[in-house]
Amino acid sequence: MSEALVSFLVEQLGSIIFQQVEQNVRLVVNVKKEVATLTLNLETIQAVLADAERRQVKEANVRRWLNNLKEVSYEIDDVVDEWSTEILKKQIEKQGENAVVPKKKVCFSIPFHCLCNGQVTQIIFRRDIAVRIKELHEKLVLIHEQRKFYKFLENEIEFEQPERLKSFSIVNESETFGRDYERNKLVSQLVSENSEERKKPLVISIVGMGGIGKTTLAQLAYNDEKVKDCFHTRIWVCVSEPFVQIAVARAILEGLNVSVPNSNELEIFVRDISNSIKGKKFLLVLDDVWDSNHRKWEPFLTTLHCGASGSRILVTTRIAQVASAMGATSDHTIYIKELGEETCRSLFYHIAFFDGERKESKKFEDIGNEIVKRCKGLPLAAKTLGSLMRCKKTVQQWVDVLNSKIWELEVVENEVFQPLFLSYHDLEPQSKRCLLYCATFPKDLEIIKDQLIELWMSQSYLEVKGGNKEKTTVGQRCFENLVTRSFFQNIKEDSEGSIISCKMHDIVHDFVQYLTKDECFSMVVKDANERMELPGDEVRHLSLMFAPEGPFPVSSLNCKSLRTLTAFESKLTSIGVELISQSKSLRTLNLSENSIVEVPKEIGGLIHLRYLDLSQNRELKELPDSLCDLYNLQTLRLVECEQLVKFPDEEAMRKLTKLKHLYVKYSPHLKSKGIGRLTGLQKLDVFHLNGYRGEDKEGTLKLQDLKNLNQLEGSLWIAHLESVEDASEGVKACLSEKHLLHHLHLDFSCFNGCHKGRREEGRGQNDREILNGLQPHGDLESLTIGNCQLATSPCPDWILSLHKLTRLQLSDFGNCELLSGPFGRLPSLESLVVGVMEKVKKVGVELLGIEERELQSSSSSSSLILFPKLKSLGFVVMPKWEEWEGVPPQNNITIMPSLSRLAFLNCSKLGTLPDFLRKTPVQTLGVFNSRILGDKVGDKTSEEWAKISHVPDIQVKEF
C-alpha cells in the first residue's frame, strides 16, 4: 500500500509549487526548499518500497518502519489536500464576487478592516501549512535515515504491467476437477432415506482448510438433479464471521421466501421459521461456519426439528469442532483433502491455457509442473496461479514466478495465503491499493462494480501520472485486472456482457484483512449506549456492523485518522457532531440503509470528504446548505430517500465543482434546481422534473437545466416529462450536445396523477413536440420511451438519425392505436420491445417502415432488408391486439433475417402471425398468457403452426 501512496504524494507535492506560481500565492519563506527536500526524500524511499513491502510480513521491524512511513505519508496527503482546497475555495469565491459585484466597486464597497482581517487569515493559514510541512520534513528525514539499517534492495527494473485479458476464470462445473468421489458420497447422504424415522434433521458437514473447495462441493450437491427432486424446499445461507443469530435467522426466512419480521427478538424469527418449514422436507446449507458455540446454534437446531423426515442440514467449515457442535457424526462428516498432483495440474493448465494451446504449453511444461507442486493440491491456488500465468508469455517470466521468494513466507494459514501472496505481489501498486480497500467490506457482500470504482476514487487510488486519463477508465482497468487474477468471483453481467457486480472469495477476504489488519477494523456493535474505542490510531478504515437504533456508538477520541467510515446492516439515527468534529480526515462516509433523520450543518467541515452515501435513509427530509462546503466531494448518493425534499441552495451548489456522480433515483420529492449548476457531472441517474403531486414548483428542475450538463456519460433517465407544459422546452435540454451519453430513458409519467386536469387530446400533441425536441446525438446505443400519449406513431421524428441504436423499448402508450414508425430502417437495431399498448388492435406494415410505393414496386431490381440486425423482438401487455399482418409476397423484401428470439406476453386476443416469420431464423418462441395464439401454435394442423414450425424451442405457458 505504501508504494502507491508515496508515488501519489511525490506527484502531489510537486503541485504545491506549481499552484503557488499559477495562482500567484506564496507560502512563507523557505517552504519551497522544504517541499523540494521532502519530495527528494520520498523519491529515495520509493525506490526501496517494493522490497520493504515483501519483507514486512516476516520482519516486525520493517513493518514498524513502513507504518511510520504511512503515518507521515497520510499527514502529507492531508496537508497537500488542504492547500489545494484553500486555493479552490478562493477561486470559487472570486468567481462569485465577480458575478455579483462589478470589479470597479470592489475597492470601495469592502471596509478596510475586513480586507485586513482576510489578509491576516490567509497569512495564518499559509504559516500553519508551512509549519506542518517543516514538522513532516523532520519526521521524514528520520525515516529516510532509518532505511539504511535494513539494507533494502532498490528496484532495478520497473514491474511489468499485467496484460489485459478479455476472458477470465469463472467458477463453474467445467472447472471442477477430481471431486467426483466426494460429490457422489455427499449426494448419496443427502437423498438416502434412513430405515428408521428421525425426529430431527440429519446434519452433514464438509470440513477442510480454506480454499480447498468446500463451498464448491456443497454447490455441486445443492444443484444436483437428484437433490433438487428430493426436497420440497432448499435454502442456502452464507454464515461467515461474525456469526449473528438474527442475521442468520433473517437469511433463512428470506431463503424460504417469507416476509421478514421487523424485530430484533430472536424468538419471533425462530417461530416464523418453524411455521414456514413445518411438515416440509427441506435442505438447509450453512456455508462457511466458524462459531463452534453450541448454545448459539441450539435455537436453530431445535426449531428445525419440525421439518419432515428426510430433511438435511449441510454445514461447511474449516474447523472440525464446528461440525461436532452442529451435531454431525463422524459418519456424516466429509473431510476434503488436497487434489492429487495430476488433477491439480489439469486444473492449472485448464486455466492457464484456456484448456487449449497444448502445443504452445509444452515449452512451459517442466516449469509449470514445478509451480503446480507449490500449489500443494489447493484448487484456489491452482486457479489463482493459472490466471496469473495467462499473462506470462516467456519462459523467463515463468521462471521468475517459480523462484519468487514469497513462497518462503511462514504466516497464519500459510498454505492458503502462499498463492495469493504471489499473485498479489505481481500486481502494480495501484491495483494493490484497490484490492486491499476491499477489506472494509463484510464477507459475502455483493460488490457493485461502479460503486467500488467510485470508492477507490474517493481514496485517491486512481490518480495517474500526468492526470490525463479519466479516473473511471483507470478504475475499470484495475477492476478487470483483479477479476482476471481471480481476486473477484461470482461475477454478474448485464445483457451486454458488462460486469455489474462481484463477490470476494472468503479466502481472498481473509488475505486482504491480514494485510490490512492495522488499518482496517470491523466493529460489531451490540449496544447503542456503549462507547466503543478503536484499537489504535493506525486505523484508517472503520466498518460498523449491526449497529442498533441510536446515535454513533464510537468514541471520537481516536478517530482523527479515519479515512473511511461505513455502517453495514445498521440502524443509526444520527450523525454525531462530536464524531464529525474529530474525524477531519474522512474521505468516505457511507451511511446508507440506516435511519438517519437529520444531517448536521457541521458536515461541511469534512473538507477532505469525496464520497457521501445517504441512500435509503427514508426519514431524511433535507440536506443543509453547508453540504456545499465539501469542495472535494466527487460522489453523492441519495437513492431511495423518499422523504427528501430540500436540496442545498442553488447558489451554494456552484461550489461543488468536483462533484462527478449524483444518484437520486426513487427520491421524487427532491427540489434540486441547483443540479443545473453542476457542469462537471458525469453521472446523473435520474433527472426529476417539475416536482411531485402538484407540489410547489419553486426550486424544481426544468428541461433547460440540462443545457450545460454536457459531461454526462453512460445512462440518463429523464422523469415526469408529462408535467412539462411548454413544449419548446425539449429543445432547451440540448441532448444532441451530450456525446458521452449512450443510454437514454424518456419517461412521460407523472406520479399519482399530477396534472389530471389536462385534456388528453392536448397532451398527445404536447408530448409529440416535447419528444421531437429531445433529440439526442446520433451515436446513442439504447432508447426507452414510456408513458407517451401519442395516438399514432410512437416514435420521434429523429429516430432514423440514431444509426448506432441497438436497443429500443416503447411502453405505456395509452392512446396509441397504430403502431407505426420506420423501425425496420434502423440499421443497427438488435432488440425491440413493445409494451402496454392497450388500444392497438392490429399491427401491419407500419411497424416495418415500408412505404406504399415500395409495396407496389415488387418488380424492382433493388432489394430491401428491414430490421437487418434484429435478434430479439417482444410484445408485452397488448390486450386488444388481434392480428399481426405481414406483407404481400415479394421477391425484393427481406424481413428480420437475424431474428433469434420472439416472445408474446399477455396478448390475450392475438390469433394471427405474419407469413414472413417462415423465413426468419428464430430459435426461441415464447407465448405466455396469450391463450388464443398459444392454442394455435400448439395445434400442428393450424396455419399459424406452419409459420413457426421450424423453431426448435417453443414454449407456451399460462400463469
Q: What is the pLDDT of residues 807-824, one digit of tens each?
A: 999 998 888 888 888 999
> Residue 767: its pLDDT value, please?
83
Quote the cell numbers at residue 205.
Answer: 458437514
> Residue 954: its pLDDT value, please?
94
- Rg of the chain, C-alpha, whole Å: 32
Please give the residue that has the higher pLDDT: either 161 or 694: 694
Please give the residue that has the higher pLDDT: either 293 or 36: 293
Confidence check: pLDDT of 743 > 90? yes
- CB-CB neighbours of 163 under 10 Å: 11
> Residue 161: its pLDDT value, please?
37
Could you give the CA distance from residue 929 to residue 956 in angstroms, rounded to a whole number? 8
> Residue 5: its pLDDT value, please?
60
> Residue 16: its pLDDT value, please?
54
Please give the residue that has the higher pLDDT: either 113 or 350: 350
User: Do 246 and 266 touch, CB atoms closer than 8 A?
Assistant: yes
Looking at every residue in the chain, the average pLDDT score rounds to 80
Confidence check: pLDDT of 96 > 80? no
The residues, ordered by sequence, that sit 6+ positions from 805 with a Cβ below 8 Å of its Cβ are 780, 781, 782, 783, 826, 828, 829
Confidence check: pLDDT of 103 > 50? no
- CB-CB neighbours of 172 under 10 Å: 9
User: Do 494 and 500 touch, CB atoms closer than 8 A?
Assistant: yes
Confidence check: pLDDT of 412 > 50? no
DSSP states of 10-51 as a string? HHHHHHHHHHHHHTT---STTHHHHHHHHHHHHHHHHTTHHH
For 292-325, how does the pLDDT look when each residue is reduced to its tens digit (9 = 90+)?
788 888 888 888 888 888 888 999 887 777 888 8
> Residue 108: its pLDDT value, please?
32
Confidence check: pLDDT of 361 > 70? no
How many Cα atoms within 13 Å fall on the side-chain side of residue 624?
Answer: 13
- CB-CB neighbours of 190 under 10 Å: 20
| Span of 136-150, 757-771, 899-913 with lowest mean pLDDT | 757-771
Angle between helices 341-352 and 365-375 (to 10 degrees): 120
> Residue 9: its pLDDT value, please?
62
DSSP states of 694-754 as a string? T---TT---GGGGTT-TT--EEEEEE-GGG---TTHHHHT-GGG-TTEEEEEEE---GGGT
For 201-223, how does the pLDDT look when each residue is reduced to its tens digit (9 = 90+)?
889 998 876 677 888 888 888 88
- CB-CB neighbours of 249 under 10 Å: 22
What stretches of 390-505 show up as alpha helix (H) in DSSP? 395-402, 414-425, 429-437, 449-458, 471-484
The residues, ordered by sequence, that sit 6+ positions from 850 with a Cβ below 8 Å of its Cβ are 824, 864, 866, 887, 893
User: What is the pLDDT confidence band of residue 157, given thresholds at 50, 70 and 90?
Assistant: very low
Angle at 426 between CA 424 and CA 431, to 5 degrees: 65
| Backbone torsions φ then ψ of 875, nearest 5 degrees | -120, 125
For 824-843, how does the pLDDT look when each residue is reduced to its tens digit (9 = 90+)?
999 999 999 999 988 999 99
Kindly list the distances between the CA atom of residue 730 and the CA atoms of 539, 725, 737, 759, 775, in Å, as whole numbers in the listed order: 51, 10, 13, 20, 8
Please give the residue that has the higher pLDDT: either 429 or 532: 429
User: What is the pLDDT confidence band of residue 245, given thresholds at 50, 70 and 90?
Assistant: confident
Average pLDDT over residues 870-895: 88
Could you give the CA distance from residue 371 to residue 395 in angstroms, rounded to a whole number? 13
DSSP states of 768-812 as a string? HHHHHH----TT--EEEEES---SS--S-TTGGG-TT--EEEEE-
> Residue 113: its pLDDT value, please?
40
Stated as kind and residue range, the H or E segment containing 138 is: helix 112-146
